[in-house]
Structure 1
Amino acid sequence: MGAAFDPRYGEAWTRSQCVGILAMPGVWLTLARVEGAVVGFALSRAIMDEAELLLIAVDPAHARTGIGATLLRGAIAECRSRGVKRLHLEVRANNPAVALYAGHGFRRAGVRRNYYRNRDGETFDAHTYALALE
């Protein structure tokens, strides 16, 4: 978690946040491993026929190797197996992962103005995306 999220944006979740959500119904965590070491993860939750990709992260040492795309495809497949019809996510507007989401068919659904604030006080919009799975 700590390596995958740039600390200036404060987007990494705490241990207690992770433990708390993992105990909730409909939540699942997928790990990506290389030679036994965890190098990425995707955290998702489904409620009825909708789901949200809460977090997806790859260790920077393994960035741009396809791990993020594999995790995203895995989350989409798991959603389909659970009968999810629409998968949502939210991302900071200047996050390079936007290209990954668009490449997998996600379309921008909305904007939350000045939603994120970095440690210097600079604000960034949050973009919400959705993918129809029907």
Structure 2
Amino acid sequence: MSGTVNLVELREGGTQDLYNVNIVMQEAFDPRFGEAWTSAQCLGMLSLPGVWLVIASIDGRDMGFALARVIADEAELLLLATHPAARRRGIAGALLRAVIEEARGRGVVRIHLEVRSGNDAVWLYRREGFEKVGERRDYYRGRSGQLFDAHTYARDIKDLD
């Protein structure tokens, strides 16, 4: 077997990672859809209680991230992105499972997320047990002014014990 296997390393992130988060986000999110957050939005969110960031690196280079928050016994996946150069390596799935495990450890019983209609990530969310529970018409506004629906997904988090 030839080639090199690069392992994905996951770690807790913080405000010091926002520069790289922004780079990944700008590369990962197509500007046509208006899904990317600004650095100020990310910084503001990270300053709130119950918010955490997970960074995925390959060979020391940040290639993905997930931002989530917990309120009472529910959590929300706010952002999940993988740099296009590192897609199809299991990064998004590893990040999503890390968020779910962290949420479980924080006493969460249900986790929510929102995704643009037609986003390829839906297959990942469904594979990890999320089900569509709602829809927001014309929620995302792309750069051209075009509107896109948002779909809300949720899954219960059960203890493994």
Aligned to 1:121: 145
Q: Which residue of 1 aligns with 2:119?
A: 95
Q: Which runs of 4+ in 1 moved over 4 A?
A: none
Alignment of 1:34-113 (within 5 A): 34-113=58-137
- Structure 1 regions of 5+ residues with no counterpart? none
- SS at 1:128 equivalent: strand
More helix by share: 2
Question: Quick check: 1:94–1:124 contact (8 Å CA) kept in 2?
Answer: no
RMSD: 0.8
TM-score, normalization by structure 1: 0.97
Shift of 1:113: 1.1
Question: What count of residue pairs does the alignment treat as equivalent?
Answer: 134
Secondary structure of 1:83 counterpart: coil
Residue-by-residue CA offset, 1:34-82 (whole Å, 9 max, x unaligned): 0111000000000110000000000000011110000001001101111
How many Å separate the matches in 1 of 2:145 and 2:51? Answer: 32
Larger radius of gyration: 2
**Identical positions, percent:** 58
Q: For structure 2, which runs of at least 5 residues remain unmatched after alignment? A: 1-24
CA distance in 1, matches of 2:41, 2:62: 19
Question: Are 2:35 and 1:8 equivalent residues in the alignment?
Answer: no
Helix, strand or coil at the partner of 1:100:
helix
The CA deviation at 1:125 is 1.1
Deviations 1:58-116 (A, max 9, x none): 00000111100000010011011111000000000110000000000000010111111
Q: Which one-letter code corresponds to 1:44 in the other structure?
A: A
Task: Tell me the TM-score normalised to structure 2 length.
Answer: 0.81
CA distance in 2, matches of 1:99, 1:86: 19
